[in-house]
Amino acid sequence: MTTSSPPTAMAERPRLLLHNFITVDQCKELEFIHRSCGVMGYRPGVLSTTLSHLIATNCPHLILPFVSIRNRIKDLAEDFFSCHFDLFLEFTGLISWCKGASIGWHSDDNRPYLKQRDFAAVCYLNSHGKDFKGGVFHFKDGEPASIFPVVGDVLIYTADSRNIHSVDEVTEGERLTLTLWFTRDSAHDEDAKLISLLSQRLLNNEDNHSDPFLPVPASDNMYWFPHGHDQLGFDVRCARVHILGYNFCSTSKNKCETSDSSCEELLARPLQLSRGDVILGEEFANSLHALQVLPSLL
């Protein structure tokens, strides 16, 4: 089912909301990737997983679930905006908006370094009212005026001043999206950059023979989620594993230690998982590896 506006309104404010464009299973798969790999994002209270981050942390195989979804949304945007040329993906990222996150009125090309952005697509991977509260999307003018995110829905719009929009503060839970920007400018083609990163990584792996399937954590501060004042906050990896009912513990000491000063060191080393007093048998190369495997143990 499609929600769109009459032709004149459409020319003034080109935008489209499509329901059920991606399946709930696809949304869950992307959510799982984000839960195991997400790092601090581009705004306060926002976590993100970009494709270049997946390559840099040795997880290029996790790009596969994005491929068909990206292509379908690109075809949709080319059709809807009647492009007589191929668009390029400029950015692809899973973005979660935690409690307190919001964004005021803006267009998506509103900075000199964002001028290449022509179109935006936001896929909602979870639902307002069920998974989070707040986080409603609004267009400043025209219809539809407000969008209440529903899992599987996709919203596309031009990145220019015809589509000024905002997102209300998230007041509970975590709001998750797959956000894409498209450009006409081949100099900003994300795929060309990803291919170059992939080939560099292959060359490096040839040199150091590292295991091609084990994730490498990003630097610790990328996982540090500031919360409140006075250096308060938490490590996103610990938070994820806690939510699933587990703790990280050191393999050497067979002792759980997630909250002391050695936590950051522990998270980058081989470790095990515990649940209450019970230590699970599996050993993991590091915290990200555990987070990637944990859903299959549940």
Pick the closer one to ligand AKG by CB: 13 or 165.
165
Instruction: Indicate which of Fe ion, ligand AKG, none lies near residue 109 (CB less than 5 to 8 Å, by partner kind).
Output: none
**Cβ 115 to Fe ion shortest distance, Å:** 15
In one letter, which amino acid is 149? P
Q: Does 118 bind Fe ion (CB under 5 A)?
A: no
**Which residue in 19, 23, 13 sits closest to 1, CA to CA?**
19
Angle at CA 241, nearest 5°, toward 237 and 242?
Answer: 115
Instruction: Count Cα neighbours of 107 within 13 Å in the Cβ-side half-sphere.
Output: 22
H/E element, 250: strand 247-250
Instruction: Indicate which of Fe ion, ligand AKG, none lies near residue 3 (CB less than 5 to 8 Å, by partner kind).
Output: none
Pick the closer one to ligand AKG by CB: 18 or 285.
18
Stretch that binds Fe ion, among 71-79, 108-116, 141-149, 202-210 (CB under 5 A): 108-116
Q: Two tokens at 53?
A: 């981050």
Instruction: Indicate which of Fe ion, ligand AKG, none lies near residue 107 (CB less than 5 to 8 Å, by partner kind).
Output: none
Q: Collapsing DSSP states into helix, strand and coil, what is residue 270?
A: coil
Stretch that binds Fe ion, among 22-30, 107-115, 169-177, 215-223 (CB under 5 A): 107-115
Instruction: Indicate which of ligand AKG, Fe ion, none lies near residue 70 (CB less than 5 to 8 Å, by partner kind).
Output: none
Q: Collapsing DSSP states into helix, strand and coil, what is residue 11?
A: helix
Residue from 29, 31, 90, 108 touching Fe ion (CB under 5 A): that is 108
**Which residue in 164, 154, 71 sits closest to 109, CA to CA?**
164
Pick the closer one to ligand AKG by CB: 85 or 113.
113
Q: Collapsing DSSP states into helix, strand and coil, what is residue 284?
A: strand
Pick the closer one to ligand AKG by CB: 165 or 237.
165
Pick the closer one to ligand AKG by CB: 159 or 236.
159
Q: Are 143 and 5 in contact (CB under 8 A)?
A: yes
Pick the closer one to Fe ion by CB: 134 or 217.
134
CA torsion 110-136-183-32 (nearest 10°) is 130
Ramachandran region, residue 139 (left: φ > 0; alpha: ψ -120 to 50; beta: rest): beta
**Cβ 286 to ligand AKG shortest distance, Å:** 30
Pick the closer one to ligand AKG by CB: 165 or 188.
165
Alpha helices in the chain (DSSP H): 7-12, 24-37, 51-56, 64-80, 190-208, 236-243, 263-268, 287-297
**Cβ 167 to Fe ion shortest distance, Å:** 8
- Residue numbers of the site for ligand AKG (CB under 6 A)? 103, 108, 122, 137, 165, 167, 177, 179
**Cβ 243 to Fe ion shortest distance, Å:** 28
* Cβ count within 10 A of residue 131: 18
**Residue whose Cβ sits closest to ligand AKG:** 137
**Cβ 116 to ligand AKG shortest distance, Å:** 15
Interaction site with Fe ion (CB under 5 A): 108
